[in-house]
């Protein structure tokens, strides 16, 4: 993965326009009814919102975007919710 920034309910990746697809494995804990959505640097939604489970694997067409924002939306239980990109995630 390229540069990664984490803040609040989102994770930002900066593939710098080098790739066409992102294969993402994301672990999500501590949430009820959460969804995951991926946006490009133009704030365009790149996937249908996905219901977050403990481990989520999906592929997103990132169309050579400079920056990708992965948002986890939902109610966090006891302020302990977290999202972690697994090391098996990669660009194509």
pLDDT in tens, 34-80: 889 999 999 999 999 988 888 889 999 998 899 999 988 876 665 56
The position carrying tokens 């995951």 is: 36
Entry pTM? 0.81
34 alpha carbon, distance to own chain's centre: 12
Strands in the chain per DSSP E: 3-7, 10-14, 21-29, 31-40, 50-51, 55-61, 68-76, 82-85, 90-91
Q: Is the pLDDT of residue 1 over 80?
A: no
Report the C-alpha gap between 76 and 66 in whole angstroms: 29
Beta partners for residue 5, in sequence order = 12
Q: Classify domain 3-91 by CATH architecture.
A: Sandwich (2.60)
């Amino acid at each position: 993965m390229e540069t990664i920034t984490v803040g609040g309910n989102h994770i930002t990746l900066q593939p710098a326009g080098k790739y066409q697809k992102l294969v993402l494995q994301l672990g999500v804990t501590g949430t009820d009814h959460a969804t995951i959505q991926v946006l490009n640097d133009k704030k365009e939604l790149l996937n249908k919102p996905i219901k977050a489970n403990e481990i989520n694997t999906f592929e997103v067409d990132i169309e050579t975007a400079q920056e990708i924002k992965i948002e986890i939306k939902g109610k966090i239980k006891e302020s302990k919710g977290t999202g972690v990109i697994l090391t098996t995630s990669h660009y194509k």
